[in-house]
Amino acid sequence: MKKKLIVGLGNIGDKYINTRHNIGFKILDELAEEHNATFETEKLGDVASFRFKGRTFILLKPSTFMNLSGKALKYWMDKEKVSIENILVVTDDINIDFGTIRLKAKGSDGGHNGLKDIQEKLGTNKYPRFRFGVGANYSKGRQVDYVLGDWNKEETSLLIERLPLSAKVITSFGTDGLSNTMNNYNGK
């Protein structure tokens, strides 16, 4: 299929823009900028699209807040008639070191409420996801504060190289497929 739906998870509103939980939005912003695509507010999210190597990439930043991401994903998946293997959910992961990339074809929600809602709305955990490591540099009981906290100075500096790499991973998913992309980028 030539159409790909890329869903970046995050929360809407200025207070969340630079938080770790919003890495999905940040990566989609990078990808849109690289391909001169502009986000427009549509039903259940901000949407942009571009064509690359014969494929159409539809970028979705849900406006439903993180914990209800599945509603927006399902709506756009149905509207654009994109099959489940042609979606890619981009999210943060505290179980992976900062900046490390991990793609998977399926898996558990790992306690992530956005993934939990998507799994519930799709009725399966078998959908491609791109997990961007944010690390777990927080003390016991402070997980929510950590993921909803802003990037520190060092992380902000390192994101300068990690965001373009992440954008490249997504275009690879769209053109080379999940398996090849996993082989080429997992753990980087």
Give the model confidence (pLDDT) of 59-74 as tens digits. 999 999 899 999 999 9
Which DSSP helix (H) or strand (E) runs through 76? Answer: helix 69-79
* Active site amino acids: 21
Is the pLDDT confidence value at 1 over 80? no
β-pairing, 129-133 with 87-93? Answer: parallel
Q: Are 113 and 67 in contact (CB under 8 A)?
A: yes
Is the pLDDT confidence value at 83 over 70? yes
Which DSSP helix (H) or strand (E) runs through 31? Answer: helix 23-34
Report the percentage of the chain scoring pLDDT > 70. Answer: 99
Q: Which amino acid is at 23?
A: I
DSSP state of 151: P
Confidence of residue 146 (pLDDT cuts 50, 70, 90): very high
- Tell me whether residue 25 is annotated as binding: no
- In the predicted model, what is the mean pLDDT of residues 1-13? 94
CA distance 54 to 152: 38
- Tell me whether residue 65 is annotated as binding: yes
Beta bridge partners of 62: 45
What structural domains does the chain harbor? 3-185 (3.40.50.1470)
- Tell me whether residue 36 is annotated as binding: no
- Tell me whether residue 113 is annotated as binding: yes
